[in-house]
Amino acid sequence: MISGWCGVQFAVPGLPFGGVGESGMGAYHGKHSFDAFSHKKGVLHKGMGGDLPAKFPPYTDAKKSLIRCLLTGDFLGALLVLLRIRK
């Protein structure tokens, strides 16, 4: 029997490697090392479609009508506004 060390952590990938303080390197191995030295932050992923022009001022009557149709779920009305059939 080897005192103070057992090879169980190599068999279980989710366990961190090493000990704490003087007894080892800590949890600085693999994913635990990445997590220890990483700064976590939120990231926004946007598509390639761009922004809807109705989102920005000046808010004309047509833009207001389009936004109102989209918010109420009147997609046929929104299509008619986009095709400039209805204001």
If one compares 76 and 5, the residue with the highest pLDDT of the two is 76
| Domains: count for the chain | 2
* Full residue range of the structural domain in which residue 62 is found: 53-82
74: tokens are 């009147």
Residue 73 lies in a domain: yes
The answer to whether 19 touches 26, Cβ cutoff 8 Å, is yes
Residue 47 lies in a domain: no
Residue 3 lies in a domain: no
pLDDT of 1 reads: 47
Residue 74 lies in a domain: yes
pLDDT of 74 reads: 93
Residue 16 lies in a domain: yes
SS3 81: helix
If one compares 59 and 8, the residue with the highest pLDDT of the two is 59
User: Phi/psi zone of residue 79: left (φ > 0), alpha (ψ -120 to 50 degrees), beta?
Assistant: alpha
User: Phi/psi zone of residue 48: left (φ > 0), alpha (ψ -120 to 50 degrees), beta?
Assistant: alpha
If one compares 65 and 7, the residue with the highest pLDDT of the two is 65
The predicted-structure confidence for 23-49, as pLDDT tens digits, reads as follows 555 556 667 677 777 888 888 888 887
Residue 71 lies in a domain: yes
Residue 25 lies in a domain: yes
Residue 5 lies in a domain: no
- Give the model's confidence band at 52: pLDDT under 50 very low, under 70 low, under 90 confident, else very high: confident
